[in-house]
Every structure is written in C-alpha cells, then in structure tokens.
C-alpha cells in the first residue's frame, strides 16, 4: 500500500435502528504482537482470530522476510514457526509496513539488536510519521538508523552486534515506544528497563510473560518501570486473539446515537489499558452492559450490550487518554450528538497518529455544522443535543479511524455524510461496511 491512486469516497445516511449481534474482528495490537513474538520463539505458535486487516498482513509478510515460517490456514487461523530470539535473518528486500505505525515500530525494535540491516517504508501516511521516538532509544542499544529527513521512512536500520540492555525513560506515553524497547531488549545481554510516564496498553508485557520471558512492572516515582531479562528462550504458544475494542467502538457508538438501536458485541477485549472509551461513555449516560466478564488468552473480555441513549457531555480526565487514545475520533462524533460540551484534554499524541487527528476531527466536525474549539493538546466539542446537520465532506488523510468515525456520524445526522476516501478502513476493520450494513446502517 504505497499510496492510493484512486480514492474510494463513501457516504452514510440517516438509518433506522441498528439491531443484532456484531462479531468484531481480532484485536490489531494483539495480532501484530502474536506474529512478532511467534517469529521470535522456538516452535510453532498457533494463532486463532488473527485480524485480517492490511496492517497485520504486512507484519505477517515482514516476519517471513526475517526468516519465520508464517502460514495462513484460513478463517483467521495462522501458524508461525519461529527462529528464536536473535535468529532473525537479513531481509532480501525493503520491508513495506503499509499504513502500520505499530507494525513498523515494533519490528524495528525486534530486529535492532540483531547484526542485520533492514530498510523500512510505508504508505504516504506512514512516511510522514516520526520515527525518531523509536530510533533514539534503539541507538542506545548500539543500533544505527539512516532515515529520510533525519527520521522519516524510508529508513535503514543497522542492527547492533552484542547489544547490552539499557534503561530508557520514555518521553511520551506510547505503547509503541515501550514495545520497541522491550523487543530490542530481548536480544540484549542483561536487563532492559523501560520507564513510562503513564501506563499504556500492556499487551507486550502480558504476551512476553506468556511466551516465557522474565518481565516485571513496578510503579516508581517516574511512572511505571518495566524490566525484562535479556536473551530468554521464548517458547511457542497458542494465542486466541480477543475482539478489538477499538473496532467495537464504532458499532457501539453508532448504536448509542441512532435512535432505537440495540446491539450485542461478544468477546470484546476489556484490558483496562484499552477500555477508557467505555468508561467515558458510561459517564456520559450510555446504556452499556458488560456481560459474562471473563479472562481469555490472558486478556479480560466481556460481551457488550448497547442501547441507544441520551448522552451528556463531560470533561474526560486527561490521565485516561492512554487507555482510549485511538477512540477520540469516534468519541468526538458521539460528543456532537450529546447535550453540552465534551472536553478532551491531554491528547497531543493524536497529532502524530495516522494523521493529525485533532485537526482532522475539528475540520470534519465543522464541515458537518458542529462547533469545536481546538488547541495543541485539546479538543472541545459543542454537543448539538441529537441534532447534527451533516451534509459535508470529511477529509480522512489515509486514516481509517477518521473515515469510520464520520461514517458513523452520517447514520444519525440530518443529511448524509461523505468521507473523501474509505480505502484505509481495510487496514484495521476490513468488514466494517458489511458488518454495519447487517446491523441496519446505510453506507454506500
Ligand atoms: C498501539 C499503540 C498506540 C495506538 C496504536 C496501537 C500498539 O500508539 O495508537 O493504534 O499496538 O502498541 P502509541 O503507542 O504511539 O500511542
């Protein structure tokens, strides 16, 4: 996916109630990690429920390029025969990670402490995203990177030979930085400690532990210190990928704003480091029930039952941001239908996602007749009490979540909502249109 010559405009229109059961695809973060850790372990990892989004398929292809045997058995069942920690071989060609920031950043981490070189690239969105936040800590291990404009893709990483563990205080609350450092630490001698200022999604820690690594998290004055012992032997695992809460967010929020809706979503990952949106929606007055709460594959999951609700704007606590960082675009759509203002602060990380999401949401909401206030690290949406005009075109900048957010808006707005390009939806939620249509949404 090196740029999309032909944009795919999509339009959604006012729809009747959304009803039924929505089976959400596998979690993107867990899918990337299961392929990468499978590739770094000994034996055959069996993965069920892998997300078949383009981002994850690009990671699967990359793992083959580094020497793992990755096999698609159909219906989300995959196996990965790993090469073991330190066993990556040098890829013969450029690694194209498409649109996937998580894919490229985690893979750079994983290869950076092996004595091999690899060149990474991606689509126009990924080529504009900062990589210095990853290459800076990887250089502490002795890796070298040569990127365009000193830190953009395409970028060549020269892996370190005989790396030693490092201690790194992450300047940003980012699970991608944390995971890249921990994956680099796997093939380094001694301990690697990553200190994060706020707790971010912890799938890497959970999965590393599951594969047999010695890893522990301690709360410290600076935040959370995660320490990994280097050079473990990782042992292949069976992984059942839970359903993606970030994808579930779209049908959940659409059901909340489309009058008369009632939707059930089984098996949604409710890891506390991911579930901030649901807490926020409940505080806004959403009728969401969490049924059959249980643990599957090391992750807490539940079945969600959602009914259309009248919502009230709130101020989202800024320290909740890491646990809902990908959900602010769809929350700002919900906020437009609420009464009163919804204030979202501490969200400057949104400026370096697949696009500048604060700007993309602000401009798109304005195009739909919604008043917003925007600053470097905040967005305030003035709720229209259920009466959103719509009728505009939202620019999506190759960003799947911006596209899906505005398509959800159109289902409850007075006039249809168009997005300039829905192409990127396939990166994370390839069955979005089909699933939403089955529930009763009108999307063309
Ligand atoms: C992800 C981490 C988050 C998130 C991304 C997935 C991950 O990025 O936005 O969609 O799987 O580690 P940051 O770590 O940059 O916040």
Residue 298's pLDDT band (cuts 50, 70, 90): confident
Q: Give the C-alpha distances (Å, rounded to integers) separating 49 from 185, 186, 302, 444.
A: 28, 26, 16, 27
Distance in Å, CA 120 to ligand 1 centroid: 18
* pLDDT tens digit sequence for 142-173: 999 999 997 999 999 999 999 999 999 999 99
**Angle between helices 28-39 and 101-111 in degrees, nearest 10:** 20
The CA distance from 143 to 141, in Å, is 6
Section 165-187 average pLDDT: 98
The CA distance from 393 to 369, in Å, is 11
The CA distance from 353 to 235, in Å, is 33
The CA distance from 336 to 355, in Å, is 21
Residue 70 · residue 64 · CB < 8 Å: yes
Place of tokens 């289902």: 411
Position 4 scores a pLDDT of 55
Least reliable range by pLDDT among 70-74, 217-221, 343-347: 217-221
Q: Is 436 in the pocket of ligand 1 (CB under 6 A)?
A: no
For the chain, the residue count is 444
Q: Is 99 in the pocket of ligand 1 (CB under 6 A)?
A: no
Q: Is 204 in the pocket of ligand 1 (CB under 6 A)?
A: no
pTM here? 0.96
Q: 77 — phi, psi (to 5°)? A: -95, 120
Q: Is 59 in the pocket of ligand 1 (CB under 6 A)?
A: no
pLDDT at 1 over 50: no
Position 220 scores a pLDDT of 85
Q: Which residue has the higher pLDDT, 414 or 2?
A: 414
Position 276 scores a pLDDT of 98
Q: What is the mean pLDDT of the chain?
A: 97
Position 2 scores a pLDDT of 43
Distance in Å, CA 87 to ligand 1 centroid: 26
pLDDT at 124 over 60: yes
The CA distance from 148 to 150, in Å, is 5
* pLDDT tens digit sequence for 53-77: 999 999 999 999 999 999 999 999 9
Distance in Å, CA 157 to ligand 1 centroid: 21
Tokens of 42: 């000994």
Q: Is 201 in the pocket of ligand 1 (CB under 6 A)?
A: yes
Q: Give the C-alpha distances (Å, rounded to integers) separating 238 from 77, 83, 102.
A: 11, 17, 22
Section 296-303 average pLDDT: 89
Section 256-279 average pLDDT: 98
DSSP 390: B
Q: Is 400 in the pocket of ligand 1 (CB under 6 A)?
A: no
Distance in Å, CA 174 to ligand 1 centroid: 6
* pLDDT tens digit sequence for 328-338: 999 999 999 99
Q: Is 106 in the pocket of ligand 1 (CB under 6 A)?
A: no
Give yes or no: 377 in active site. no
Q: Going from the N-terminus, what domains does the chain have, and what CATH number goes with each?
A: 10-25+242-443 (3.65.10.10), 28-235 (3.65.10.10)
Tokens of 425: 């939806």
Residue 5's pLDDT band (cuts 50, 70, 90): low
Position 218 scores a pLDDT of 98
Distance in Å, CA 326 to ligand 1 centroid: 8
Mutation test residue for ligand 1: of 31, 101, 247, the one with most atoms within 8 Å of CB: 101
Atom of ligand 1 nearest to the CA of 326: 9
Please identify which of the residues 326, 399, 420, 421 carries the catalytic annotation: 326
Section 186-209 average pLDDT: 97
């Amino acid at each position: 996916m090196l740029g999309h010559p032909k944009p795919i405009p999509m339009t959604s229109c006012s729809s009747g109630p959304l009803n039924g059961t929505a089976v959400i695809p596998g979690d993107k973060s867990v899918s990337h990690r299961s392929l990468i850790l499978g590739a770094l372990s000994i034996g055959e990892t069996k993965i069920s429920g892998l997300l078949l989004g383009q981002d994850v398929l690009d990671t699967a292809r990359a793992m083959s390029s580094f020497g793992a045997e990755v096999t698609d058995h159909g219906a989300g069942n995959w196996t990965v025969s790993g090469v073991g920690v330190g066993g990556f071989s040098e890829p013969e060609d450029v690694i194209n990670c498409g649109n996937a920031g998580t894919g490229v950043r985690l893979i750079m981490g994983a290869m950076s402490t092996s004595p091999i070189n690899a060149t990474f690239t991606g689509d126009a969105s990924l080529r504009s995203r900062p990589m210095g936040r990853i290459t800076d800590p990887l250089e502490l291990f002795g890796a070298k990177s040569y990127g365009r404009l000193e830190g953009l893709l395409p970028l060549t990483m020269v892996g370190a030979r005989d790396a030693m563990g490092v201690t790194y205080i992450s300047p940003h609350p980012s699970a991608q930085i944390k995971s890249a450092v921990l994956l680099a630490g796997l093939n380094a001698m001694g301990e690697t400690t990553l200190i994060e200022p706020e707790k971010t999604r912890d799938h890497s820690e959970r999965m590393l532990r599951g594969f047999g690594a010695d890893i522990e998290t301690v709360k410290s004055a600076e935040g959370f210190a995660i320490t990994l012992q280097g050079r473990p032997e990782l042992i292949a695992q069976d992984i059942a990928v839970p359903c993606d809460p970030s994808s579930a967010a779209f049908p959940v929020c659409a059901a909340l704003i489309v009058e008369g809706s009632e939707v059930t979503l089984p098996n949604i990952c409710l890891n506390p480091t991911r579930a901030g949106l649901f807490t926020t929606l409940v505080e806004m007055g959403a009728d969401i029930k969490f049924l059959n709460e249980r643990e599957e594959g090391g992750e807490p999951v539940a079945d969600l039952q959602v009914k259309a609700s009248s919502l009230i704007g709130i101020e989202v606590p800024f320290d909740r941001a890491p646990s809902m960082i990908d959900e602010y675009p769809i929350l700002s759509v919900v906020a437009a239908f609420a009464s009163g203002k919804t204030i979202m602060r501490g969200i400057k990380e949104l400026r370096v996602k697949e696009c500048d999401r604060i700007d993309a949401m602000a401009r798109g909401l304005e195009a739909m007749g919604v008043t917003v206030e925007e600053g470097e690290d905040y967005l305030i949406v003035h709720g229209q009490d259920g009466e959103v005009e719509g009728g505009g075109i939202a620019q999506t900048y190759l960003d799947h979540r911006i596209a899906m957010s505005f398509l959800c808006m159109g289902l409850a707005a007075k006039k249809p909502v168009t997005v300039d390009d829905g192409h990127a939806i396939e990166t994370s939620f390839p069955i979005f249109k089909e699933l939403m249509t089955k529930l009763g949404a009108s999307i063309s």
